[in-house]
Structure 1
Amino acid sequence: MADGTKIEWTDATWNPITGCSVVSAGCTNCYAMKLAGTRLKHHPSRVGLTKDSKAGPVWTGEVRLNSEWLDQPLRWSRPRMIFVCAHGDLFAEGVPDAWIDQVFAVMALCPQHTFQVLTKRPERMREYLTRPAGNGLPDVRNHLAWEVTAGVMNAYLPGWKKEAPNGKRRSRAIAAFSSWPLTNVWLGVSVEDQRRADERIPVLLDTPAALRWISAEPLLGALRLRDFLPTCAQYCAHGCTASGDQECDRHLPKLDWVVVGGESGAGARPMQPEWAESLRDQCAAADVPFLFKQWGNHKPTSDCNGRYMIAATKKEAGRLLDGIEHNGFPQVRR
């Protein structure tokens, strides 16, 4: 957990689970993978999670539950935006449902915080959040309340072990999940190009969530998000005529937030200015908050032959897009 982070769109990071595997082009220069195989390679939370290759450290696919960090958000009273599993993926292939259960239990017990979940595996996320619990329990919400929350409270909340009987304990656990999907959990997917946007965003939009967002970082190509952004507000302003089995587009799930950034670190691939500008304009047209995180290790310049990208430090490149810092955030829903 880092209380205070250089990531422009969050306040803190929380790493109850570390480790991952390479699944697409956006993973090639993953900062978490490089750290796990260099500066943090001997830290107990990272040992054995990467292997050396000619290109540098690469994830092995092993994942690790850092149970000593699980309760950290419970100890913070001041509200924060918290990036969940910044050095892994909560829905990675090797992560057991039981670990995800514990993370969701803690998030439910911390309504003062906003938790930002980001994955490249939206199918697993959708399956988890929509699965029936079994044993006569109707959905994942009751499963979490009954099977997990009491255990988390037993371990970390003072006085919980002494609370009796079990009926009272279960009532308190279920109360933590009274709002579903959890209103303080934002679900997002990483999309680096159009192929991954077309693959991942529809699954995200089909997943129960209080708020849905994307991180287009590293942005490796132009993105057309028209199908995933609100589009009919201009028509509904004159009166929506949808009825019966028809659904007005404005009322279907759409993206609530778009974060864009270029790649940094050794071997960083340049992001073209027109890619970022197009996403800014698409979001403006749809009235969706837009945050431009960084240029990364390249910056735009121009001469008589036009615009092009040149190598630069992250600090030199900065995060101004057409001379403006874009810090759009969605409204926190409670």
Structure 2
Amino acid sequence: MQFKHFKDSKISWTKKTWNPWRGCSKVSAACKHCYMFRIYKSKGIDPKLVTRQDLTFEKPLKIRKGCKIFTCSMSDFFHEGADEWRDDAWEIIKQTPRHSYLILTKRPERIKDCLPKDWCKEHYSHVWLGVTVETQKEVHRIHTLGEIPCEIRWVSFEPLLGDIQLSQKELDIIDWAVLGGESESKERVRKTELSWFNSLMFQFLGYGTPLFFKQLGSYYHYHEYKVRDWHGEKYCDRFPNRYKIRQYPKYDQGEKEINNLKSVL
């Protein structure tokens, strides 16, 4: 059996992406300028139509070496439109403990009802469950995430759209934090104030929580630092040193090479 080469992701905190389905619907301010909508509209595809992608559905089985996989980068793993396929996706995840699956959602209220029947840390310790929190208004998602037994719980503060102050309870829930500004055109991008970044960095570093500063966002590319790429993600001479921090939580499970690929197919 011949397998296609799967390119590495351009997203700095993951190695690869996996989209067993595509399409989504907007639920909060972070969704306003979603890149998925922009990409699919440019291709003449309806971004609101949630569709199973058979060509990529079994992709993790075909990746020999264990790696971090951002799951549903072009959708939401817990979107109601994917309910009929999610069990099949969970089965693939269960079969491939060599990978770490980084699942990010804006629908944490659906997680409990969408977990596999045998969900537990022992069977799914290689699954990292995360939520997006863009302003103080969405901090409740962290509390919902905290109700789920999980090896790694993480939060993506991207695009960060306001100052966020976290309680000790919320900091206790978060095992890993990702920070980033918005990627958009010069005319539409929303600015992330550096003070918002600084505040969250102070909170996490002071609490000993691993922190991954992903990107400044497009605003700083266009208006201030002229960093190398329009996301403000790649390091260069003009990238502020204080934001050059990319940590991961300690994690030893999975990410191992499978010598006999046929054994998992």
Query: Normalising to structure 1: TM-score of the pair?
Result: 0.67
> What is the aligned-residue identity percentage?
33
Q: Which deviations, in whole Å up to 9, do the C-alpha atoms of 1:46-78 show, x marking residues without a partner?
A: x333xxxxxxxxxx3x20111221111111121
Give the C-alpha shift of residue 94 in structure 1: 1.6
Partner of residue 330 from structure 1, selected from 211, 224, 249: 249
The aligned amino acid for 1:80 is C
Change (3 A) 1:314 1:203: farther
Conserved 8 A contact 1:295-1:314: no
Conserved 8 A contact 2:221-2:229: no
Distance 2:207 2:149 in 1: 22
Structure 1 residue 19 and structure 2 residue 23: aligned? yes
Structure 1 residue 284 and structure 2 residue 197: aligned? no
Conserved 8 A contact 1:257-1:290: yes
Change (3 A) 1:2 1:279: farther
Change (3 A) 1:332 1:178: closer
Give the C-alpha shift of residue 322 in structure 1: 4.8
Structure 1 residue 79 and structure 2 residue 66: aligned? yes
Distance 1:48 1:276 in 2: 34
Write out aligned runs for 1:72-151 (5 A): 72-96=59-83, 98-129=84-115, 140-141=117-118
Distance 2:58 2:105 in 1: 22
Partner of residue 48 from structure 1, selected from 46, 49, 62: 46
Distance 2:177 2:63 in 1: 27
- Higher relative contact order, chain-length normalized (CA < 8 Å, sep 6+): 2
The aligned amino acid for 1:257 is W
**Equivalent residue, structure 1, for 2:262:** none
Conserved 8 A contact 1:259-1:292: yes
Partner of residue 200 from structure 1, selected from 141, 165, 174: 141
Give the C-alpha shift of residue 323 in structure 1: 3.6
Q: Which deviations, in whole Å up to 9, do the C-alpha atoms of 1:267-305 show, x marking residues without a partner?
A: 11010001111111111111100011001112299xxxx
The aligned amino acid for 1:124 is R
Give the C-alpha shift of residue 104 in structure 1: 1.0
Q: Which deviations, in whole Å up to 9, do the C-alpha atoms of 1:78-129 show, x marking residues without a partner?
A: 1110000000001112221x31111111111111111100000001112223
Distance 2:86 2:250 in 1: 26
Between the two proteins, the alignment pairs up a number of residues equal to 241
Q: Unpaired segments of 5 or more residues in structure 1? A: 42-46, 50-59, 130-138, 143-176, 231-253, 302-308
Query: Normalising to structure 2: TM-score of the pair?
Result: 0.84
Structure 1 residue 67 and structure 2 residue 54: aligned? yes
Give the C-alpha shift of residue 2 in structure 1: 5.2
Q: Unpaired segments of 5 or more residues in structure 2? A: 254-265
The aligned amino acid for 2:18 is W
- Residue 80 of structure 2 aligns to a residue whose secondary structure is coil
